[in-house]
Amino acid sequence: LYVTDYAQGTYEDNEISRNALAGIWVKNYANPIMRRNHIHHGRDVGIFTFDNGLGYFEGNDIHNNRIAGFEVKAGANPTVVHCEIHHGQTGGIYVHENGLGQFIDNKIHSNNFAGVWITSNSNPTIRRNEIYNGHQGGVYIFGEGRGLIEHNNIYGNALAGIQIRTNSDPIVRHNKIHHGQHGG
C-alpha cells in the first residue's frame, strides 16, 4: 500500500503481509487514516513514513517484520495510537534522520532489538506506552537523538530500560522503569 503526494483516505481492517518491501509507505505530505490493519511477516519494515509523510494509525497489529515494525524518517510526523508493535526481527519503532511522530498508548514488546530507537536529530513524543520484554533495551536514544519520553511503563527488557548515548538530549520524565534484566 503506497500513499503519497498529499493523498488521504481511510484504510480499515486490511491484512498486509509477506511483501518484499514495506507493507505500507506514506510520504510527501500524504495523510491517511489507518485503523485495525494487520501488517505482518514483511521482508522489510511494516509501516514506513518518510519525506514528510503524515498519517493517523490506530489499533493496528504490526508484527514479525524483518526490520522495524514502524519506521519514521526525513521529516515524517505520524500519529500512532493503540497499536501493538511486536516480534520485530530488529526493533519496534525506529525514528531517524529528523523524524518526528507521536506514539501514544501503544504496546511495544518482544522485539529482537530495542523497542524504540531514536537517532540523528529526531524528536518524537513517546507517551503512555507499554514497552516490555525486548531482547535488548526498551528505549535507545543515540547519535544526537532527542525526544520526549514520558508516562511510559518500561519493564522486563534484557538491557537498560532507557539508554542514552552519543550527544543525545531527550526529555525523560514520569516513566516507570522496572524489572529490567540489566540497568534501569
Q: What's the CA angle centered on 23, arms 26 and 92, to 5 degrees? A: 90
Domains and CATH numbers, the chain: 2-178 (2.160.20.10)
The predicted pLDDT at position 140 comes to: 98
Helix (H, G, I), strand (E, B) or coil at 112: coil
Which residues of the chain have a pLDDT value below 50?
none
The predicted pLDDT at position 43 comes to: 96
Express each pLDDT in 147-184 by its tens digit: 999 999 999 999 999 999 999 999 999 999 999 988 77
108: which 3 cell numbers? 511495544
Express each pLDDT in 71-83 by its tens digit: 999 999 999 999 9
Sheet holding 56-58, edge to edge: 10-12, 33-35, 56-58, 79-81, 102-104, 125-127, 148-150, 171-173
Instruction: Give residue 146's identity as a one-letter amino acid code.
Output: R
pTM, 2 dp = 0.97
Residues 6 or more apart in contact with residue 88 via CB below 8 angstroms? 46, 63, 64, 65, 67, 68, 69, 111, 112, 113
